[in-house]
Structure 1
Amino acid sequence: MSEIGPDTLRRSYAHRIAKLADIGDVRIEQAFAKVPREDFLPPPPWTVISLGDASETNRLADIYENVLVAIDRKRGINNGEPALHAAWLDAVSPQPGESVVHVGAGTGYYTAMLARLVEPGGHVEAFEYEPDLAAEASRNLQSYSNVTVHAGSAFGRKLPEADVIYVNAGVIAPDAEWLRALKPNGRLIFPWQPHKGWGPALLVKWREKGFAAQVLMSVGFISCSGMTEKSSVRHLPSEADLATVRSVWLRDEIAPDKNAVATYKQVWFSSKVVDR
């Protein structure tokens, strides 16, 4: 019996991931079906990680499952879980012609997804702090004319205006420049990790009256390199506190008030609802 070809493998994988993530945008499934995951990974044997267990494999089919695949195990750098990213992509909903900033691009697999989703006419500015990963991402994304890879931190710098900012590394708090870079109706998604190693994914949306925030699933991400914000929060928010967050504010624009859930050097989180 002949082995299943890579195109068939990817289509089947994309369909399973779309069902797992319960996504509503068929374009996301199509992106997963088109982008070869192996092109963004080290050479085989690959280390696949599922439910904390790691195993080595040379089988292409094994990386087309909802698993992490190690990029550098010593540094804890992995190609992330596909169903989680499918859900995030669905949440931020990149559209043709939009501009995206990708923070923590790694070797570029999910950058490639973003690039496909904003075609035609859209562009992705991808930032990767680790020089070796940035160089690898540049090589891997050579065929994507609508992607620019930046070797450096996306913290503490003025960013291009963006419809979507997609952050793939855990942060104590979002950089103020991320919020300032959002265009009207822009969306930011990031892993907020006030506690070491875990916290909620937060979806932030630009509104005329402020930045609305929605708590999504609990996630664990490697910490973002080059982060300037330290643990300067007055008190660490509890899990119950995290669930109450409904907005994010820039401290140099509005001072924290009685609705503050967590206050940092540049930004603060609030239970106040932003209507529009």
Structure 2
Amino acid sequence: MPQEESDRYRRAYAARVARMADVRDARIEASFAAVPREAFLPPAPWTIITMGVATQTSELAEIYDNVLVAIDLERGINNGEPALHAAWLDAVGPGPGETVIHVGAGTGYYTAILAQLVSPDGRVDAFEYEPDLAAEAARNLSACSNASVHAASAFGRVLPKADVIYVNAGVIAPDVEWLKALNPGGRLIFPWQPHKGWGPAVLVTRHETGLSARALMTVGFISCSGTTERISVRRLPTESDVAAIRSVWIRNERPPDSSAVAVYDDVWFSSEKIDH
């Protein structure tokens, strides 16, 4: 296929994804337009998943739509829904010169988009627990000078300081090390799945007075590999509890109080809004 035709598909796809996600930052559309999705997928024919139905295609135009594309169908690993990621990227706002940690990088497609968004002087450290996916991501990103891939879990390890932590695997609770790694003004977005099956994307922001937290849209992600967190020591949070979160705290910095809606070994969520 001529390069011009591929570029045209990508530009139309990027505009459609940005419109569906109602993004405010024009750089997000430009980044989706710049990164070839097929370069991060298995060879054609591709398996696309729409409304839970999997079909095969060798038509490049069909992967340039708001569809999941399988990476490993048996393991339930896919390339992710573009409009959802566009909305997340708009919410977390990676900017030029910032440092990003990408947790659950898969084969590196959204790592590449993050690298575009923080260019020219920012960088992305991508963590992928599955060795085969990490190796594939490293190959796919070999020409991306401001992205590095680590074949390891990003859960339970001390991380470098970051302006953005972008988590693409569901967790019962955020890792305390993610919170500690955030620079002043830093943002963390992750899929909180307190019931191991459903939950919201949560946006956490570090302020001088603490870590604000708010629930965004409900999402579904496969569980984060290599985690050690346990179910809340209190009752599981209800849907209304989940919607009520306004802040998140590290337990050894502030013990849970009457505002707690979910308490874990190292962190807890509060309905108390912090001043900032």
**TM-score > 0.5 by shorter chain:** yes
2:120 is aligned with 1:106: no
What secondary structure is seen at the aligned counterpart in 2 of 1:249?
Answer: strand
Amino acid at match of 1:186: G
What secondary structure is seen at the aligned counterpart in 2 of 1:138?
Answer: helix
Q: Distance in 1 between the 2:272 and 2:117 partners?
A: 32
1:145-156 equivalent positions in 2, closer than 5 A: 145-156=145-156
1:228 offset after TM fit, Å?
1.3
Q: Distance in 2 between the 1:232 and 1:205 partners?
A: 22
Task: Give the match for residue 188 of structure 1.
Answer: 188
Task: Give the match for residue 133 of structure 2.
Answer: 133
1:4 offset after TM fit, Å?
7.6
| CA offsets 1:193-251 (integer angstroms, 9 cap, x no match) | 00122100000000111100111000010000001102244211111110000000000
2:87 is aligned with 1:87: yes
> Which runs of no fewer than 5 residues in structure 1 stay unpaired?
none
1:2-13 equivalent positions in 2, closer than 5 A: 5-13=5-13
| CA offsets 1:16-63 (integer angstroms, 9 cap, x no match) | 000000000000000000100000000111110111111110100110
Task: Give the match for residue 262 of structure 1.
Answer: 262
| CA offsets 1:111-142 (integer angstroms, 9 cap, x no match) | 00000000010010000000000000000000
Q: Distance in 2 between the 1:245 and 1:260 partners?
A: 9
Change (3 A) 1:51 1:4: farther
Q: Distance in 1 between the 2:197 and 2:225 partners?
A: 14
Q: Distance in 2 between the 1:74 and 1:231 partners?
A: 27
Amino acid at match of 2:166: Y
What secondary structure is seen at the aligned counterpart in 2 of 1:85?
Answer: helix
What secondary structure is seen at the aligned counterpart in 1 of 2:71?
Answer: strand
Task: Give the match for residue 206 of structure 2.
Answer: 206
Q: Distance in 2 between the 1:118 and 1:216 partners?
A: 23
Change (3 A) 1:3 1:35: closer
**8 Å contact kept, 2:170–2:223:** yes
Task: Give the match for residue 36 of structure 2.
Answer: 36
> Which runs of no fewer than 5 residues in structure 2 stay unpaired?
none
Task: Give the match for residue 157 of structure 1.
Answer: 157
1:117-128 equivalent positions in 2, closer than 5 A: 117-128=117-128
2:55 is aligned with 1:24: no
1:3 offset after TM fit, Å?
11
Cα RMSD, aligned residues only: 1.1
Task: Give the match for residue 172 of structure 2.
Answer: 172
TM-score by length of 2: 0.98
Amino acid at match of 2:257: D
Q: Distance in 1 between the 2:58 and 2:74 partners?
A: 20
What secondary structure is seen at the aligned counterpart in 2 of 1:5?
Answer: helix
Q: Distance in 2 between the 1:72 and 1:198 partners?
A: 22
Task: Give the match for residue 52 of structure 1.
Answer: 52
What secondary structure is seen at the aligned counterpart in 1 of 2:13?
Answer: helix
Q: Distance in 1 between the 2:4 and 2:67 partners?
A: 19
Q: Distance in 1 between the 2:68 and 2:4 partners?
A: 22
Q: Which runs of 4+ in 1 moved over 2 A?
A: none
**8 Å contact kept, 2:99–2:123:** yes
What secondary structure is seen at the aligned counterpart in 1 of 2:165?
Answer: strand
Amino acid at match of 1:75: R
What secondary structure is seen at the aligned counterpart in 1 of 2:184?
Answer: strand
Q: Distance in 1 between the 2:3 and 2:251 partners?
A: 58
Q: Distance in 2 between the 1:155 and 1:10 partners?
A: 34
What secondary structure is seen at the aligned counterpart in 2 of 1:158?
Answer: coil
| CA offsets 1:245-274 (integer angstroms, 9 cap, x no match) | 000000010000000000000100000001
